[in-house]
Structure 1
Amino acid sequence: MERPGFTASLVAGGVAGVAVDLILFPLDTIKTRLQSPQGFNKAGGFRGIYAGVPSAAIGSFPNAAAFFITYEYVKWFLHTDSSSYLMPVKHMLAASAGEVVACLIRVPSEVVKQRAQVSASSRTFQIFSNILYTEGIQGLYRGYKSTVLREIPFSLVQFPMWESLKALWSWRQDHVVDCWQSAVCGAFAGGFAAAVTTPLDVAKTRITLAKAGSSTASGNVLSALHGVWRTQGLSGLFAGVFPRTAAIGLGGFIFLGAYEQTRSLLLELGRASP
């Protein structure tokens, strides 16, 4: 069983992560402010939509690299025949493992970023220092469980759908999909997964932004969802669904397309080198 290019996966994943996070940052800010407990306008409205971008820029590369190297390794480790009915299960397990590892890097970056997004007057480093001073390291990992509980269902939908759409397109045209075709499949898979997991994203945002010591800050996802349902109903649970779906659909196009393109290029360069 041949080992895949793990170095190529690491670098390609990192490049793809940085590209999508920086390009789509304004949509992410709007989504976060729509989901914040104080409401869109009080959270900043359309002002300062790049607040928190340093945190995203620092966390993007290692976060995406960690996800893809884990994803590719687990796919390799759980090797099955490409025609096997177990292929979707393999992709689900690989994506879930990738999310658990990536969230160790993603969550601190997300906590700082989201607090900066709803408090545009504060500097990113100031917010980071304040979290460490008032809440310690556990403050940076507030919402870890809720983030994992959001990302795993998201990946359970997105990655098997992405792989299945690529396989179907390959079968229809009788050759492996091009990078742009993989990107289109990623856009459909990402947009659909984003829409159906929006309530979990709302819960994660509320937990991340809650005041230290409050019941919401404890990280109970069901409690956070119940609180939103009780005060805002279905519209509250799906707050930000349109910018989230648009951002992640477009993000799926950029992220998975850039990943495939960069990985293919690196593997070709590796084969060409003596």
Structure 2
Amino acid sequence: MRKRLFLFLRWNSGLPAKLINGGIAGLIGVTCVFPIDLAKTRLQNQQNGSRLYTSMSDCLIKTIRSEGYFGMYRGAAVNLTLVTPEKAIKLAANDFFRQHLSKDGKLTLVKEMLAGCGAGTCQVIVTTPMEMLKIQLQDAGRIAAQRKLMPETVAAGTVETKSPTAMQLTRQLLREKGIAGLYKGLGATLLRDVPFSIIYFPLFANLNNLGKKDVDGPAPFYVSFISGCLAGSTAAVAVNPVDVIKTRLQSLNRASTEDTYSGVTDCIRKIMRNEGPSAFLKGAYCRALVIAPLFGIAQVIYFLGVGEFILTCVHFSVFTK
């Protein structure tokens, strides 16, 4: 009786289990790759005439020297707090749309892409404010280093202050601009996350299916991991130009010699004119290194059914008392 109850709950946990899986995967993944994400943000934000870093490794070495080991984790608290709902929404929404778009358990490529589109659209509710705050905290070290090395680039009247916390930034943005302040760059975030999901989810599903030993059974966990890594890195590089635009638009602090942007079109025009097309690939390899393990880990957590196991244990303890 207990065994049958355990198996029933294990396979009927539904959406709550998917949310737990997405949250756990996000926490593990962000902890592992956050320093690379910080390097990506700083590389994407530096413009011609204000280059402090030549590569990802150069950025991380200089960050450790000037800010210490924990300097590589500036903004990590925001990410760790909000990545759970963000990843949970993304993965669960994709499953939700796939289930409702499928016919007899099968999906066409177009419907797979529509499901990914729906997932990407849903997640920006959390992604936009999360990245808005994270980018300010990640880039604070670059701005501080620029002030020390190139004081002539600091705008007149600028006062150097201690780096603000996420809560201070949130209060400031809400006070000055309302909720819209936290959603600056929403359009660019949509332009990045919707195409990313359209590419990632169908690609992962098809790569994962290639590794299945049984048509009706799950693929081995290592196949899910590799498929997640390959699909994630491919989608990440494909949308990197939009990620550069989004990062620039969401950065509030700039040196006097750096361009400011009024919107997506203005940002594209100024980057093309002042830095050339190659600027849209800044941080692309960093982003691939961040996204690949993030989604590889996420798919393994889903495969192992950690969320289902947790809920099963909770229900089992309740119903067998």
TM-score computed with the length of structure 2 as normaliser: 0.75
Per-residue CA distance 1:145-200 (angstroms, 9 max, x = gap): 11111011111111111000011111689953122210110001111111121101
Structure 1 residue 248, shift from structure 2 partner: 1.1
Q: Displacement of 1:69 after TM fit?
A: 2.2
Are 1:124 and 2:166 counterparts?
A: yes
Would the aligned equivalents of 1:211 and 1:217 in 2 still touch at CA under 8 Å?
no
SS in 2 for 1:67: helix
CA distance in 2, matches of 1:132, 1:237: 31
**Structure 2 vs 1, CA of residues 128 and 174 (structure 1 numbering), >3 Å: closer, same or farther?**
closer
Amino acid at match of 1:222: T
2:116 and 2:197 in contact (8 A); partners too: yes
- How much has 1:114 moved relative to structure 2? 0.4
Q: State the identity as a percent.
A: 28
Residue of 210, 226, 233 corresponding to 2:269: 226
Q: For the structure 1 residues 192 and 269, does the alpha-carbon distance in structure 2 shift closer, same or farther, using more than 3 Å as the test?
A: same
Tell me the C-alpha RMSD between the 2 structures: 3.0
Distance (whole Å) between structure 2 residues aligned to residue 94 and residue 173 of structure 1: 22
Kindly indicate whether the alpha-carbon contact (under 8 Å) linking 1:33 and 1:40 is maintained by their aligned counterparts in 2.
Answer: no
Question: Moved runs in structure 1, 4+ residues, more than 6 A?
Answer: none
- Name the structure 2 match of 1:239: 282
Written as runs of structure 1 = structure 2, the 5 A alignment for 1:182-221 is 182-210=224-252, 218=262, 220-221=263-264
1:9-28 matches, within 5 Å, as 9-28=18-37
- Tell me which residue corresponds to 1:55: 78
Q: How does 1:86-235 map to 2 (within 5 A)?
A: 86=108, 88-120=109-141, 121-170=163-212, 176-210=218-252, 218=262, 220-235=263-278
Task: Say whether the 8 Å CA contact 1:12–1:259 is kept in structure 2.
Answer: yes
Shift of 1:32: 0.2
**Distance between the aligned counterparts of 2:131 and 2:178, measured in 1?**
16
Q: Once the 2 structures are TM-superposed, how far is the Cα of residue 60 of structure 1 from its aligned partner?
A: 0.9
The partner residue of 1:256 within 299, 302, 315 is: 299
* Cα distance in 2 for residues equivalent to 1:266 and 1:158: 26
Task: Please give the alpha-carbon distance, in whole angstroms, between the structure 2 residues aligned to 1:217 and 1:137.
Answer: 20
Match of 2:100 in 1: 77
Count, aligned residues: 269
C-alpha contact 2:213 2:219 (8 A) present in aligned 1: no
Residues 42 and 138 of structure 2 are in contact (CA less than 8 Å); yes or no, is this contact kept in structure 1?
yes
Residues 1:30 and 2:39 aligned together = yes
| Cα distance in 2 between the residues matched to 1:217 and 1:61 | 31
User: Which 10-residue stretch deviates more, 128-137 or 38-47?
Assistant: 38-47
- Spell out, residue by residue over 1:8-32, the C-alpha distance to the aligned partner (whole angstroms, 9 max, x if none): 1111111111221222111110000
Shift in Å, 1:96: 1.5
Give the stretch that moved more between structures: 143-152 or 18-27. 18-27
Q: How far did residue 140 of structure 1 move?
A: 0.2
Distance in 2 between the 1:265 and 1:3 partners? 8
Unaligned segments of structure 1, at least 5 residues: none
Taking the aligned partners of 1:228 and 1:124, their CA distance within structure 2 comes to: 29
Whether the 8 Å contact between 1:3 and 1:76 is mirrored in structure 2 is: no
> Distance between the aligned counterparts of 2:124 and 2:133, measured in 1?
14
- 1:23-47 CA-to-partner distances (Å, cap 9, x unmatched) read 2111110000001145563899524
Ranked by relative contact order (alpha carbons within 8 Å, sequence separation 6 or more), the top structure is 2
Give the partner amino acid of 2:112: H
Name the larger-Rg structure: 2
Q: Which whole-Å CA distance do the structure 1 matches of 2:308 and 2:74 have between them?
A: 34
User: Residues 210 and 217 of structure 1 are in contact (CA less than 8 Å); yes or no, is this contact kept in structure 2?
Assistant: no
> SS of the counterpart of 2:102?
coil
Give 1:58 shift. Answer: 1.2
Question: 1:41 corresponds to which residue?
Answer: 52
